[in-house]
Amino acid sequence: MLLIHVSCPLAHRRRVDCFHNRVPNFIVNLDLFSESNEGQAQSPSSLDLATQQATQLRKLLHRYAHAYYTLDAPEVPDAEYDRLFNQLQSIETQYPELLTADSPTQRVGGAILPEFATVRHQVPMLSIRTETDTQASGAAAFDTRIRKELSLTETDSEVEYVAELKFDGLAMSLRYEHGILVQAATRGDGEYGEDVTHNIRTIGQIPLQLAADVPSVLEVRGEVYMRRDDFDALNQRQLLKIAEGLKGEKTFVNPRNAAAGAVRQLDSNIAAQRPLSFFAYGLGEVLGWPLGVVPFQRHDDLLQTLKSWGFPVAAQTQCVKGATGLIDFHSHIAQQRDRLPYDIDGVVYKVNDLGLQEKLGFVTREPRWAVAHKYPAQEELTTVQAIDVQVGRTGKLTPVAKLAPVFVGGVTVTNATLHNEDEARRKDVRVGDTVIVRRAGDVIPEVVSVVLAQRQADALIFTMPRVCPVCGSPALRDEDEADYRCSGGLFCGAQRKQAFLHFAQRRAVEVDGLGEKLIDQLVDAGVVRTLPDLYKLSLSALLQLDRMAEKSAFNILSALEASKSTTLPRFIYGLGIRHVGEATAKEFARHFGNLDAFMAASMEELLEVSDVGPIVAQSVVTFFSQSHHQEIVAQLRACGVRWEEGLPAERPTKPLSGQTFVLTGTLPTLSRDEAKAMLEDAGAKVAGSVSQKTSYVVAGSEVGSKLEKALALGVPVLDEAGLLSLLNGDPHDGS
């Protein structure tokens, strides 16, 4: 938030308002005057402007801190709060007379909820200075400051530091008396915190009793956090509760928010259901050391001592020397950041020698001997300029927020996925909204939440279009799916490449040599638009493509000619009808005998086919109800694509009719396709997943979870020998 003072004629008021609407995060102090007395306008002094800006910044920071620390419902990203905090700190440094006792710069942050007992920290839980220079220079600057404070010259040895992770969680103080956990308190405002002992006892990583060789009074400082996988599982459970109509349930914005909410539950049973973890990194009050002597003089020895007492300490912690060591650690952790099982937003450097820490001391609210070195923010504020709907190669419709450009996660982001209509509605993202955008590593940027306080009154609720924005075909959504999909299939330009690849694959019509790279060239150059165009390709058109020699072009034309002779099941499968796989295509071909009967079949007629349910039947009806699909089939026939047809064949009774098999792992002599073909010839159905309806699972080597599920459900398991025996008509005892 910046304060901009504008002194201008009254007639220009509309221009200023227009600017303010476009840039809502600026405070505009407007000094208007008429044209007649323009020369008499008095500009405020620099001190007046700084006073106004400081007042506005304090108000905003208090509001954001209250939402973050007290309500556990952050309104803005950490990076935005840090920017505002640094601006206020700069003003108060330049104008010390503006510093007030209630300024956020004079407090660690947080507030005490009235429901919890208040705890006074005997040793204040101070925060540390944040280095917002995310480059290597930030680490070098800290080392330079330390050397200057210690009056070290270039000839003196490098300073040794302990480099740790900066966890994105909730600071916690654990008090042990005679080895027993008696109290757990939040940081609160640094001097007073909240007693949350009842909830902290539910965290398995925190020991409730320590060995006898610990001090009589011991306060262990650390961070309560939630792992990413635990956070995802928690939100999945929350979504199920919401779907069941349970009132008061919600999903959580991020792991830190979820962890804070769990710690500050009045009911410890609720906290126990939310998976929390803990890392220790320091000490508070300590009284009564065994033998009367502190057993360490270095911070890394302190951490080892905490480990020996049973507290978890982050494995990434390292001892390093000088600026080079700090820079290397910062870079190394940056590369690991997105693979860590928990969120961090930076690293922490601490002078290792405790004697030097004491010598360096503190400045206002922060120790001189430590600093938090941030990484580029993974969350930032920006505005939604539009919401477009993109169509994927398989027809999936995805709403995408078009954003005012924002630098987040190390790159400039202009688009962020909203995933699907349900997610867009849940987050209630609208055009014109100010939103928090997150990007971590190579993850697709997404909108985390909306800053509702800045929403425009006329912002419209987003609704997914019911037709494909590319081809105009109906957009359909199955009952058990979150996504809408274009039903245009072969006709839709967005799905064109996928349609060609599917049609030409080995299990479908099979056009040898027609792979992804060649299809990309043909489609991108506009040479082919629909499937029949493949059979109209000329030698000259192929030779114009990159890296296409005459022999290769002849081979493609020969493969296309050969593919014209196919089978009805392959052709049906090659059309790419949603939910119609190979096995279902074979069932349709057997049942109807010819394509025309299949295309004209009603829902009721389709449901008579073995293993075909309402979803598959509706998908077929929808596909052939579109005239462009009928036209494509007619053109393929006109191009010479052919297969044997006839009346529906009576089904002979086969030995494995009505039985369902699942294949898993690698068989000794049979390929997966060979085993599948043999089973289907014997009348069996081959499924992709194990269920209670599965008759047998055929397992080879290197099996996956399918075997585990089969054993859990009591489904008989066969090896290759058992399968061949069954196919030969030998009975199986079901063991």
Radius of gyration of the chain (CA): 34
Q: What is the CATH number of domain 118-374?
A: 3.30.470.30
Q: Report the Cα–Cα distance between both ends of the chain, in Å, rounded.
A: 71
Give phi and psi for 124, each to the nearest 5.
-55, 145
Residues in the chain: 735
Q: Which residue has the tokens 């995310």?
A: 134
Looking at residue 534, the DSSP 8-state letter turns out to be G
Q: What distance lies between CA 263 and its chain's CA centroid?
A: 24
Out of 2.40.50.140, 3.40.50.300, 1.10.3720.10, 3.40.190.10, select the CATH number for domain 393-453.
2.40.50.140
Task: 524-532: list long-range contacts, CB under 8 Å, 24+ apart.
Answer: 528/500, 529/493, 529/496, 530/490, 530/491, 530/496, 530/632, 530/635, 531/490, 531/499, 531/500, 531/503, 531/632, 531/635, 531/636, 532/632, 532/635, 532/636, 532/638, 532/639
Provide CB contacts within 8 A for 289, sequence distance 6+: 215, 295
Structure tokens at 551: 């022999």
Question: SS3 for 451?
Answer: coil
Yes or no: say if 537 and 558 are a contact pair by the CB < 8 Å rule: no
Query: E-assigned strands of 288-337?
Result: 318-321
d(CA 45, CA 514): 74
Active-site residue (options: 166, 350, 374, 427): 166
User: Within the chain, how many helices (H) and strands (E) appear?
Assistant: 25, 26
Question: Quick count: other Cβ atoms within 10 Å of Cβ 702?
Answer: 8
Find residue 166's DSSP bridge partners. 346
Query: E-assigned strands of 195-251?
Result: 217-225
Res 16: pLDDT:
44
Q: Which residue has the tokens 């009235």?
A: 114
Question: Quick count: other Cβ atoms within 10 Å of Cβ 558?
Answer: 12
User: Over 63-94, what HEC string results?
Assistant: HHHHHHHHCCCCCCCHHHHHHHHHHHHHHHHH
Yes or no: say if 379 and 479 are a contact pair by the CB < 8 Å rule: no
Q: Any idea where the domains of the chain sit in the sequence?
A: 2-105, 118-374, 393-453, 475-638, 660-727
Res 34: pLDDT:
42
| Domain covering 2-105: architecture | Orthogonal Bundle (1.10)
Tell me, what amino acid is at 374?
Answer: K
Looking at residue 14, the DSSP 8-state letter turns out to be H
In angstroms, the Cα distances linking 244 to 253, 420, 425, 666 are: 20, 20, 17, 41
pTM above 0.85, yes or no: no
User: Over 555-613, what HEC string results?
Assistant: HHHHHHHHHCECCHHHHHHHCCCCCCCHHHHHHHHHHHCCHHHHHHCCHHHHHCCCCCC
Residue 180 region, left (φ>0) first, then alpha (ψ -120 to 50), else beta? beta
d(CA 260, CA 269): 15
Yes or no: say if 695 and 722 are a contact pair by the CB < 8 Å rule: no
d(CA 162, CA 352): 5
Mean pLDDT split into 10-residue runs, the chain, 735 residues: 46 44 43 43 75 91 76 79 88 89 68 78 90 88 96 95 95 95 93 92 89 91 95 89 80 86 84 90 94 91 94 95 96 90 93 96 87 86 94 88 88 90 90 89 81 91 92 85 87 88 94 92 91 95 92 96 96 93 93 95 88 87 93 96 83 76 92 89 84 90 85 91 88 55
Q: What is the CATH number of domain 475-638?
A: 1.10.150.20
Find residue 353's DSSP bridge partners. 298
Res 608: pLDDT:
84
Find residue 399's DSSP bridge partners. 389
d(CA 616, CA 612): 6
Structure tokens at 243: 């779907």
Provide CB contacts within 8 A for 14, sequence distance 6+: none
User: Over 376-391, what HEC string results?
Assistant: CCCEEEEEEEEEEEEE
Out of 3.40.50.10190, 3.30.70.1350, 1.10.600.10, 3.40.50.410, select the CATH number for domain 660-727.
3.40.50.10190
d(CA 451, CA 453): 6
Burial class (CB in 10 A: 0-12, 13-18, 19+), 143: buried
Provide CB contacts within 8 A for 207, sequence distance 6+: 181, 309, 310, 311
Q: Quick check: is 166 catalytic?
A: yes
In angstroms, the Cα distances linking 214 to 183, 209, 286, 290 are: 16, 10, 10, 7
Angle formed at CA 733 by CA 732 and CA 735, multiple of 5 degrees: 110
Res 382: pLDDT:
95
Yes or no: say if 577 and 584 are a contact pair by the CB < 8 Å rule: no
Find residue 177's DSSP bridge partners. 180, 217
Structure tokens at 664: 């898993």
Provide CB contacts within 8 A for 499, sequence distance 6+: 489, 490, 492, 531, 576
